[in-house]
Chains A and B, each alone.
Chain A
Amino acid sequence: AQKVTQAQTEISVVEKEDVTLDCVYETRDTTYYLFWYKQPPSGELVFLIRRNSFDEQNEISGRYSWNFQKSTSSFNFTITASQVVDSAVYFCALSRVSSNTGKLIFGQGTTLQVKP
């Protein structure tokens, strides 16, 4: 069975602090995709990143960085110098390559509040 766990329900930080959102996944597949989505109060899930299971290189995009460690089945997301606009619910998700459907299995989400 596939499962994604985001143990942090809510995180509150002060603007300019760095924050890391944890994601742990379970799958027996050898190939899969991992994703992060952001859900602002408007409700729309915004795609942030996709990572292929074969690619363990960390990625940085502006203030965002992602640490993929296959050995610990983790795909953590760090926001550097957080801003109030980063306040949202963040979801980690898993997709099976073998099913070829693109169906996403989401974690429970982490609510990030960035205070001014």
Chain B
Amino acid sequence: DTGVSQNPRHKITKRGQNVTFRCDPISEHNRLYWYRQTLGQGPEFLTYFQNEAQLEKSRLLSDRFSAERPKGSFSTLEIQRTEQGDSAMYLCASSRTGATEAFFGQGTRLTVV
């Protein structure tokens, strides 16, 4: 049983560019979450999928952010027209429906220069 996998681990991009991150959850986990963590802070919820349906989005998720989970397997998080304020660690987590423990990946660290 492999854990949650996130790619890439690190991404440096110029302001204004688009970036896309990928998350592969633990197989058979129906729920998938994206969180954002800035330096010295706890993770903050961004969005949540139940299978392929995106059921909740945080107000933190501006129009420049979009997340998908086609076929209810892996998920992608895209940030368009990146800004320096987008620099953060983006964490993905998955869990079974009805379970309460979420398992996290190692995150993608984004640096916008």
Contacts and interface: CB of A to CB of B under 8 A. Distances in A.
Interface of A: 4, 6, 9, 33, 35, 37, 42-47, 50, 91, 93, 95, 101-109
A89 to B, nearest CB: 9
Given A91-B42, A91-B43, A101-B48, A45 B104 contact: yes
Q: Which 7 A-B pairs have the closest CB atoms?
A: A106-B42, A45-B104, A44-B106, A43-B107, A43-B106, A106-B43, A109-B42
Contacts of A103: 33, 45, 48, 56
Given A43-B107, A44-B107, A45-B91, A102 B102 contact: yes
B39 to A, nearest CB: 11
A44 B55 contact: no
Given A108-B42, A109-B41, 9 more contacts: A42-B106, A44-B104, A47-B104, A101-B55, A102-B102, A103-B33, A103-B45, A103-B48, A108-B41
